[in-house]
Each structure stands twice: as structure tokens, then as C-alpha cells.
Amino acid sequence: MRLREANDEGYTLIELMVVVLIVGVLIAIAVPTQGAALDGTRTRTCRANQRTIAGAAQMFKAASSPNLYPDDVAALVTRGYLKRAPACPSGTAAEQGIGYSIDASGGVIGDGLDVGSGWIVSDHDGGFH
């Protein structure tokens, strides 16, 4: 077996394989973490959108003469309570036309993102949960 001389250039195959192994381990750690972070971000965005819609629905009810909640989110946009309808944080739900809806008690129901069996973020007393 020959020893490396001081003026040899380049890396041995084993050194390159060790570097590739280290990079592979780092990628294997990073990819699942990134997926979980994206899911958490979508869930928090969905909650924020629902709270925004619920607040606008409360203002709509307070300003309307029969004190009724709006039929849908579009009514909040038309009347100026929202600049635009919040976009769904999950791309597939937006493509399928699934959006937020407001029930008769003023609750805002999920947007197609799998966050349980539809959130209702405003309770009957006007608070949020």
C-alpha cells in the first residue's frame, strides 16, 4: 500500500463517501421537520382566517337591523367588512372550491384543511375558542 505524498491533490473515495453519508443524514433529519413545520403553519393560518371572518361576522351582525349573521363570506366582502375573502392555506382545498362558511349562529367552519371536524371559532356569546 502506498502512502500519500504531501503534493498529492484530491480526495480519496472513502473521504468522498463519508461526506455524502453526512449530507444524507442531515437531509434525512431536515425533510420530516420541514413537513411538520408547514402543516403547523397551515393550521395557524386557518385559525387566523377563521378568527378574522368571525370578527367581521360579529361586526356585520351588530350593524344589521334584524341582527342576523351574513349568509356567506362574500357578503362580508361586499359590505366592506373584509377587503377580500381569506385564501385557503391548503392549495388542494382552494382548487376544489372549498372555502370558509358561516353557520346560523355565527360560527366559522373550516376551509377543507384537515383540522378536525370543522372549527367553530366564535361561540354564541361572541367570544373565541
Task: List pLDDT tens digits, range 3-20.
Answer: 666 666 788 999 999 999
Q: Are 113 and 42 in contact (CB under 8 A)?
A: yes
Residue 71 and residue 102: Cα distance in Å, rounded?
A: 7
Q: Where are the domains of the chain?
A: 13-109
**Is the C-alpha dihedral spanning 111, 117, 122, 128 positive or negative?**
negative
Residue 93 and residue 90: Cα distance in Å, rounded?
A: 6
What's the pLDDT tens digit per position in 69-80?
Answer: 998 888 999 999
Q: Are 48 and 88 in contact (CB under 8 A)?
A: no
CA neighbor of 102 nearest in space, from 78, 69, 128: 69
For the whole model, what pTM was predicted?
Answer: 0.62
Task: Flag the least confident range among 11-15, 90-94, 123-127.
Answer: 123-127
Q: Are 67 and 36 in contact (CB under 8 A)?
A: no
